[in-house]
With several copies, the nearest count.
Chain A
């Protein structure tokens, strides 16, 4: 199995974590991204993730390979959900094992930053007021320019 994957069913974090085992590794850092009940002050009910799968998998694998070259780590993996998710669901999981904890923390953080920066996956948030919108971060501090979803643009 490749180290990066898009997945349409719940992520089994414990099973993924076992793929990081290595007898020389003394540290394992994992990041989990959960679906929050709010964003930029608006109550969120659920969301959908859409991906350009062929390129997302290529970019995800490249990020993990880069991480293994940049940091003294033993293993790195990432899974990202696609499709409909509810509040509290695990949307993305990143795990890194290393001999020492500094590299494990640094690599895990670098990987999730890169995943968010460049892997072609998009989030459509569904709000409590019935609106929805694709998030397209513009790199500003505010984090995201929001586009009304198809329900609205039909009006």
Chain B
């Protein structure tokens, strides 16, 4: 399936891009992050991240569908 990834903050720095289209057999955010972590060398354990699918917070085990926008959120520092 094909997913659209957005990257922010240090994840964007590590990936060297702010977005990318990914073709993957990962069926949920947990599996997808494991693949992308290996590809881009992300330093965060998933326990320190949140994940959003199509603009809403989601579970790591939520079933992904073709075309979903997936965003891994590192710890925030607004305010």
Contact = CB atoms under 8 A, between A and B. Distances in A.
- Chain A–chain B contact at Cβ < 8 A: yes
Interface of A: 33, 49-52, 54-56, 58, 80, 91-92, 112, 115-124, 134-139, 144-145, 147-150, 153
B32 to A, nearest CB: 17
A113 B49 CA distance: 19
A124 B71 CA distance: 19
B62 to A, nearest CB: 15
Contact of B48 (A117, A118, A138, A153): A138
B55 A117 contact: no
B10 to A, nearest CB: 4
A55 B13 contact: no
Contacts, number: 90
B46 interface: no
A108 B48 CA distance: 27
A147 B77 CA distance: 12
A137 B74 CA distance: 9
A58 B55 contact: yes
Contacts of B14: 153
A58 B55 CA distance: 9
B21 to A, nearest CB: 18
Given A122-B8, A149-B13, A55 B76 contact: no
B41 to A, nearest CB: 10
A104 B79 CA distance: 15
A137 B44 CA distance: 12
A155 to B, nearest CB: 12
A144 B76 contact: no
Contacts of B9: 50, 122, 124, 134, 136, 147
26 contacts: A50-B9, A51-B8, A55-B55, A58-B56, A80-B78, A92-B78, A92-B79, A116-B76, A116-B79, A117-B76, A119-B79, A120-B52, A121-B79, A122-B8, A123-B77, A134-B10, A134-B77, A136-B9, A136-B10, A136-B44, A136-B48, A138-B75, A147-B9, A147-B13, A150-B13, A150-B16
The CB with the most chain A CB atoms within 10 A, among B9, B52, B55, is that of B9
